[in-house]
Chain A
Amino acid sequence: MELTGAQALIKSLEMCNTEVIFGLPGGCILPAYDPLLESPIRHILVRHEQGAGHMAEGYAHVTGRPGVAMVTSGPAATNMVTPLCDAYMDSIPMVCITGQVPTAAIGTDAFQECDTVGITRSVTKHNELIMNAQDIPRIVAEAFHIATTGRPGPVLIDVPKDVLQNKMQWYWPDAIDLAGYHPVMNADPMSIRRAAELILASTRPILYVGGGVLKARAAVELKDLAELCDIHVVTTLMARGAFPDDHRLALGMPGMHGNYTAITAMQQSDLLINLGARFDDRVTGKLGGFAPGAKIIHADIDPAEQGKVRAPDVSLVGDARITIEHLISAIKELLGTGSSFPDRGVWKQAISGWQENFPLTYAPQQVDGPLKPQMVMEALRDSAPEGTILASGVGQHQMWASQYWKFNEPYTWVNSGGLGTMGFSVPAAIGAKVGCPDKTVWAVDGDGCFQMTNQELTTASIERIPVKVAILNNSYLGMVRQWQEMFYEERYSEVYLSPELPDFVKLAEAMGCVGIRVDSPEEVQPAIDKANSINDRPVVVDFRTDESEKVFPMVPAGIGNDDVEVHESQRERLAADKARRIANRAW
């Protein structure tokens, strides 16, 4: 069968089970948009290419399937760089197709030409410029394979206009053979055995769980492992939902704004069982002082993560789900041959002591006082229908969302962890809602973030994607303000946005959404109830929150995790606990 390159491209995407493309057409990609008219693939027309990229990411986050974005050359491709980098940092499977100037014009500084493959080389897992229409099916099949296997990530395919117009003989590759790409799925059995022995010998173990567990769809296995060994679990920002927050063994999020107990338990641990996390600097704090007494088991599918930051005692290179299954069998085998877990009574007591003394806290909401953003988060959480997906931007609101939400199911949290991309939440929430149309999707955003990408709410209205957006609006770039208050002697430099402009209610209405403004505490619940009841269009709730609220706990940048700062109401207890911790160093 003879097809044009464009027809082959769309047919190849169909062969890879693409149900939706997020995109925006333009000159060089025009040929590919023509066969799209006959394709069953849904296309969502965005208002800015960055939105298409984040939508594809949000879709991939909640479905586990690769998000697909398609845009034209030049400025469209450069607008895609941020989402590609975001997806690369957070290991999100994504396939991005960009148009390119015709092959004869490449390198001539043609209109809307840029070196897309060169520019995106360091922000993609792989990228490819197609020079021959006959290669299209093979390269598309390879792109989906690379994006979704091993450590997932974004793959970009750059297609010149004439390659889309040229004729090719249709085929579909039976098998994918990439000489240099063979992800290891099964960790070395000897190392599994050694890891099991370390777990059985440990008196203060902690499961340090990262996004890899979600990517491997290993939440069930993780719960089995934690319960079998009776070990507490910390879930990093990328792993929220991998382990239920309401479980007796859940300690919540570690790191810069983590729970005191999660941070301190890691610090005091004698064995960190790292499953699919990468010792990110936001988790470790000052590296030299991180978990000084802990041995390390590091399970990661990416061999390059082993020893990148902290040298492991046992390294397990493989798929997280398979690794956990093998660990469980190895532990059961040891238990069956007379081994048993040591008494961890003192350790558990220490953990429950920290939980009791240092819960997440904030100054109580005053009836006539400004809105506490944490109270808004709690109200959103308590009114959220079962299975609600939460997407967030980057900053204070993101930390409050991660802290105060209760993540009891995997794939209900969509956020930009590694790159920290402001403006992520609105398009990511739209993508998540497209992937899970039957679930409620709330985007929590800051007023700074919201102003970066809110135009996609027009897309949402027109495409009938009824997401809900809660803006925690304190008129500031809140996290930067917090740092200036704490570390720059309250010298506020370029962080004040505006209390009145834009009028978010009018802005929402102009984009076809319902807009609600909330100024006082008694308006919070009715506004949330109203938003939850609207399912035919997007809703934006503008919560005017207290500008002076800061995120605690906090480990200031460059400081060790032993010196976590807590909310002022807990400071006295902190001194006593610190003294006790130093005294207990030997355990």
Chain B
Amino acid sequence: MAQLHTLSVLVENKFGVLARVASLVSRRGYNIESLAVAPTDDPQYSRITIVVDADSTPMDQIVKQLNKLINVIDIIELSPEDSVARELLLISVTALPERRAEIAELVNIFDAKIVNVGWDQMTIALADPPEKLDDFEDLLRPYGIVEVQRTGRVALPKLKREAPQLRAVAAS
């Protein structure tokens, strides 16, 4: 069965590079579930985080083909267990004055943020793992969702937990 794969692709920060990466994936008939691009701390490079729906075998081939692109520097496949991932959700919901307190409580529980308030609507922002955004969205649905906008996923590998071997260093 097909599954979601998250690729973190380090590329040269040049025009056309995103198109190369995206067209290489789509050329093989795979859909890009989500996409996020931004320059890294070194403005020469950008990181593209790309979520693709594909089997493992074709996924290997996609990674190998992406690696052939001259502008691609490095690719890491991030498994859900070994990475931390975030998406940003902006959601506008119906919020008449008498309902605002209830919604504010949900916002509080999820550690979200109200970023804009109108007479009968409010816009809330939440940056969290994608599953948590799904939950939040579900809970807001009864109030009436006016508009939802989610960003592509960004992810980084989990950091090492083991402490360095301090004793060995001390002994020497």
Measured CB to CB, the nearest residue on chain B to A118 is: B19
Measured CB to CB, the nearest residue on chain B to A150 is: B68
Q: State which residues 12-40 of B face A: CB under 8 Å.
A: 12, 15-16, 19-20, 23-24, 27
Measured in the bound complex, the distance between the Cα atoms of B19 and A303 in whole Å is: 23
* Binary flags per residue of A164-187, CB closer than 8 Å to B gives 1, else 0: 000000000000001111000000
Known: A117-B16, A129-B16, A307-B60. A180 touches B65 (CB 8 A): no
Q: Which of B19, B24, B27, B73 contacts A180 (CB 8 A)?
A: B73
Q: Which of A121, A122, A125, A308 contacts B61 (CB 8 A)?
A: A308
Measured in the bound complex, the distance between the Cα atoms of B33 and A57 in whole Å is: 39
Verify B12–A179 contact, CB threshold 8 A: yes
Specify which chain A residues have a CB less than 8 angstroms from the CB of B100 in the assembled complex.
none
Measured in the bound complex, the distance between the Cα atoms of B16 and A126 in whole Å is: 12
Verify B23–A146 contact, CB threshold 8 A: no
22 A-B pairs in the complex with CB atoms less than 8 angstroms apart: A117-B16, A118-B19, A121-B20, A122-B23, A122-B27, A126-B69, A129-B15, A129-B16, A178-B70, A179-B12, A179-B73, A180-B69, A180-B71, A180-B72, A180-B73, A304-B61, A304-B64, A304-B67, A304-B68, A307-B61, A308-B61, A308-B64
Measured in the bound complex, the distance between the Cα atoms of B75 and A146 in whole Å is: 20
Which residues in B have some Cβ–Cβ distance to A below 8 Å?
A: 11-12, 15-16, 19-20, 23-24, 27, 60-61, 64-65, 67-74
Verify B23–A304 contact, CB threshold 8 A: no
Instruction: Let me know if A565 is at the binding interface, CB within 8 A.
Output: no
Verify B70–A146 contact, CB threshold 8 A: yes
Instruction: Let me know if A302 is at the binding interface, CB within 8 A.
Output: yes
Measured in the bound complex, the distance between the Cα atoms of B70 and A180 in whole Å is: 5
* Binary flags per residue of A277-318, CB closer than 8 Å to B gives 1, else 0: 000000000000000000000000011101110000000000
Measured in the bound complex, the distance between the Cα atoms of B146 and A466 in whole Å is: 74
Specify which chain B residues have a CB less than 8 angstroms from the CB of A179 in the assembled complex.
12, 73
Measured in the bound complex, the distance between the Cα atoms of B64 and A307 in whole Å is: 10
Specify which chain A residues have a CB less than 8 angstroms from the CB of B11 in the assembled complex.
180
Tally of A-B residue pairs with Cβ under 8 A?
Answer: 39
* Binary flags per residue of A456-498, CB closer than 8 Å to B gives 1, else 0: 0000000000000000000000000000000000000000000
Measured in the bound complex, the distance between the Cα atoms of B23 and A319 in whole Å is: 28
Q: Which of B16, B24, B70 contacts A181 (CB 8 A)?
A: B70
Specify which chain B residues have a CB less than 8 angstroms from the CB of A146 in the assembled complex.
70
Measured CB to CB, the nearest residue on chain A to B66 is: A304
Q: Which 5 pairs from chain A and chain B are nearest by CB?
A: A304-B64, A180-B73, A126-B70, A180-B72, A181-B70
Measured in the bound complex, the distance between the Cα atoms of B69 and A178 in whole Å is: 11
Measured in the bound complex, the distance between the Cα atoms of B61 and A307 in whole Å is: 8
Known: A121-B19, A121-B20, A179-B73. A302 touches B68 (CB 8 A): yes
Verify A303–B23 contact, CB threshold 8 A: no
Specify which chain B residues have a CB less than 8 angstroms from the CB of A181 in the assembled complex.
70
Output the least CB separation between A529 and chain B (Å): 49
Output the least CB separation between B63 and chain A (Å): 9
Interface bracket on A: 10 to 19
Specify which chain A residues have a CB less than 8 angstroms from the CB of B64 in the assembled complex.
303-304, 306, 308
Specify which chain B residues have a CB less than 8 angstroms from the CB of A129 in the assembled complex.
15-16
Specify which chain B residues have a CB less than 8 angstroms from the CB of A126 in the assembled complex.
69-70
Specify which chain A residues have a CB less than 8 angstroms from the CB of B73 in the assembled complex.
179-180
Measured in the bound complex, the distance between the Cα atoms of B68 and A181 in whole Å is: 8
Measured CB to CB, the nearest residue on chain B to A304 is: B64
Output the least CB separation between A116 and chain B (Å): 12
Specify which chain A residues have a CB less than 8 angstroms from the CB of B60 in the assembled complex.
307
Output the least CB separation between B18 and chain A (Å): 12
Specify which chain B residues have a CB less than 8 angstroms from the CB of A308 in the assembled complex.
61, 64
A121-B20, A126-B69, A126-B70 given; name 18 further pairs at CB < 8 Å: A117-B16, A118-B19, A121-B23, A122-B24, A122-B27, A129-B16, A146-B70, A178-B70, A180-B12, A180-B70, A180-B72, A181-B70, A303-B64, A303-B67, A304-B61, A304-B65, A306-B64, A308-B64
Measured CB to CB, the nearest residue on chain A to B69 is: A180
Measured in the bound complex, the distance between the Cα atoms of B29 and A74 in whole Å is: 28
Output the least CB separation between B28 and chain A (Å): 11
Specify which chain A residues have a CB less than 8 angstroms from the CB of B70 in the assembled complex.
125-126, 146, 178, 180-181
Q: State which residues 426-445 of A face B: CB under 8 Å.
A: none
Measured in the bound complex, the distance between the Cα atoms of B11 and A121 in whole Å is: 16
Specify which chain A residues have a CB less than 8 angstroms from the CB of B69 in the assembled complex.
126, 180
Specify which chain A residues have a CB less than 8 angstroms from the CB of B61 in the assembled complex.
304, 307-308
Specify which chain B residues have a CB less than 8 angstroms from the CB of A306 in the assembled complex.
64
Q: State which residues 125-157 of A face B: CB under 8 Å.
A: 125-126, 129, 146
Measured in the bound complex, the distance between the Cα atoms of B60 and A129 in whole Å is: 30
Specify which chain B residues have a CB less than 8 angstroms from the CB of A118 in the assembled complex.
19
Specify which chain B residues have a CB less than 8 angstroms from the CB of A117 in the assembled complex.
16
Output the least CB separation between B42 and chain A (Å): 11
Specify which chain A residues have a CB less than 8 angstroms from the CB of B24 in the assembled complex.
122
Specify which chain B residues have a CB less than 8 angstroms from the CB of A303 in the assembled complex.
64, 67
Output the least CB separation between B56 and chain A (Å): 12
Output the least CB separation between A144 and chain B (Å): 13
Measured in the bound complex, the distance between the Cα atoms of B10 and A231 in whole Å is: 44
Measured CB to CB, the nearest residue on chain A to B27 is: A122
Measured in the bound complex, the distance between the Cα atoms of B24 and A540 in whole Å is: 43
Measured CB to CB, the nearest residue on chain B to A117 is: B16
Pick the most buried of B68, B72, B74: most chain A CB atoms within 10 A of its CB: B68
Measured CB to CB, the nearest residue on chain A to B44 is: A179
Specify which chain B residues have a CB less than 8 angstroms from the CB of A178 in the assembled complex.
70
Measured in the bound complex, the distance between the Cα atoms of B21 and A163 in whole Å is: 27
Specify which chain B residues have a CB less than 8 angstroms from the CB of A180 in the assembled complex.
11-12, 69-74
Output the least CB separation between A11 and chain B (Å): 24
Measured CB to CB, the nearest residue on chain A to B16 is: A117
Output the least CB separation between A107 and chain B (Å): 12
Measured in the bound complex, the distance between the Cα atoms of B44 and A194 in whole Å is: 41
Specify which chain B residues have a CB less than 8 angstroms from the CB of A302 in the assembled complex.
68
Pick the most buried of B11, B23, B64, B74: most chain A CB atoms within 10 A of its CB: B64
Pick the most buried of B64, B65, B70, B74: most chain A CB atoms within 10 A of its CB: B70
Q: State which residues 302-346 of A face B: CB under 8 Å.
A: 302-304, 306-308
Output the least CB separation between B88 and chain A (Å): 29
Measured in the bound complex, the distance between the Cα atoms of B65 and A13 in whole Å is: 29
Measured in the bound complex, the distance between the Cα atoms of B122 and A51 in whole Å is: 64
Specify which chain A residues have a CB less than 8 angstroms from the CB of B15 in the assembled complex.
129
Measured in the bound complex, the distance between the Cα atoms of B123 and A224 in whole Å is: 74
Measured in the bound complex, the distance between the Cα atoms of B58 and A307 in whole Å is: 10
Measured in the bound complex, the distance between the Cα atoms of B71 and A179 in whole Å is: 8
Specify which chain A residues have a CB less than 8 angstroms from the CB of B67 in the assembled complex.
303-304
